[in-house]
Structure 1
Amino acid sequence: MTSPTVDVHAHVLLPEIEALVAGMPAHSEAKELDARRNGSDALAVSGPMVRARIPKMTDVTARLTAMDAQGVDVQLVSPSPSHYHYWADRDTAEKVYRLANEATTAHCAQAPDRLRGLGLVPLQHPDLMVRALDHALGQGLAGVEISSHAPGHELSDPAYEPFWSRAQEAGAILFLHPFGCTLDERLDQWYLSNTVGQPAENAVALSHLIFSGVLDRHPGLKLIAAHGGGYLPTHIGRSDHAWSARSDAGAGCAHLPSSYLRRIYFDSLVHDPRVLGSLIEVAGADRVLLGSDFPFDMGSEDPVGALRGARLPETDFDAVRGGNAAALLRLA
């Protein structure tokens, strides 16, 4: 039987969350920082772009119509990363993740045969993350979405160990999707905050997970890296060399960094068939999943066509198109 076509990188917009945080001083400060990092030209384009796409991110009928046009059977829906709000205090953070989990569940419940959901956890409060993950799973969500870091915390922080343990034990999917880049105003022109910043953040976050030994201690984690894992998969040779040549680089993980790429899942959203071919070569065809970044302008309006452009063997094409994700999500 042919597997469904599954897009693992699709977003939902949750106005309830933005209403919750509106007017909070810390939220205003975070918005100002985001504006500086992106630059005025990017904000002038992004505002209208997002507004035009609100129906596809909030209305299930509009979402399904778009999915049909793309030939996508199932989406794994995650909250817009703009909802992370890692600036929030403990009380606000708990309200945010509960609202995100419940609202995403309600959205997906309108088309349960075609939509699966991911929730949020407060990465800035490591001691709340297990409870937040359990709340998401209790709602029937497949797992949670996280960014590449939170203020004062890299993903290698030992404070996250209980979260990784619980995620592995529960078989939860973790979708690593950066939001913002700490290179700040260096990327405030020409939308470099996204085109350079997002791949850089992916590479940094994955390197923290690999070099710190997180993936040694939790080999069963179901981790999906957005944007094809950024720069890391195509430049993993430099990591391997450092691991072999330097005692400080090789101290934290047991194996060559490149070997860990076959323990991570990656979406296919790299915008270049040659890069997609390289990703499949280093990670394996069984570790790449179709992703579109629906419905944003930096995504793909034809993810299946983009995948076809890589000219993969038929078995690999079918695996990436949906077979791998169907197995991961345990779709009937």
Structure 2
Amino acid sequence: MSAMLGQSAVLLSVREELRRFSACDVPVLIEGETGTGKELAAREIHYSSSRRDRPFVPVNCGALPDHLIENELFGHERGAYTDATSARPGLVDHARGGTLFLDEVDTLSAKAQVTLLRFLESNEFRPIGGGLARVSDARVIAATNSSLRQRVADGLFRRDLEYRLNALYVRLPPLRERAGDVPLLAAHFLDLAARRLDGLSKAWTNEATQILCAHHWPGNVRELENLALRAYMRTNEPVVDVSAITELVDIACEEVVEAFRAHSTDPMDLPYLAAKSHAMHAFEHRYLTHLMARTGGNVSSAARLSGTERRQLGKLLKKHGIDIRRFRSPP
């Protein structure tokens, strides 16, 4: 099992809470933004519990169609319908003695919510075409990237089902709240990329690490993992520098410039990374303005003169909000 990586106080507190939850068998509700590792947290509960040797069965609730919800969860007996040539156990049966993980539980339709509630009330279910009720001993852990309580308030989720799922509750912190965890995770994902691609081990430069730490990470840990893979593939050197994460550099520059304008701060009074980003942004703007003036606003000529690709130059002009029409001579 992959553990939730991190040394921040907030993550260590969450992991301790997950270990406490593993000691009992009541349902758990995990809430957190997309990419925070909700399935990983559910697995941490499962593999820290006495159920660790039994199945962990993940279910994407958003992919369960209404007309198949009971069949998917509870299975069917032979002859239950025309194509049922043999009996097939459902996901609840597969999770016998283990854990049933209901991801994106907030996406369940009204009909599916009723089906799940009926099962949770008694832990009993009947396969389609089956006579006698069966009892499930699977533990249920649910996860959502929205507030289930707010969904109830908005009339989109059953209150009685929310009560059943929310016996124990944990909120996973977004990456921006996990101070100090970005360098550790970034190094881990770079190593993971090397193993996946059977390639050279690589390391981030200090400057690249500073850029990573300055980013807001709206996609959280998953966004960092994807970026590390792209950065690994963009460089053939054993060291991954800022050039491999240009999308974050652009974001950092824009954020720094906005902060500078808002506070009228002398760049020399800013932290090193912020001051450097501001200087880079100012240089780019001056260079592009001068380049457009020399070429009369002709982007193709400017690209040839500057030794850059026309598409990349266009992106830079758009980033800096430079209108090339003002450099062109009137007809």
Same fold (TM over 0.5): no
Q: Does 1 or 2 have the higher relative contact order (CA < 8 Å, sep 6+)? A: 1
Using the size of structure 2 for normalisation, the TM-score is 0.25
Using the size of structure 1 for normalisation, the TM-score is 0.25
The higher radius of gyration belongs to 2
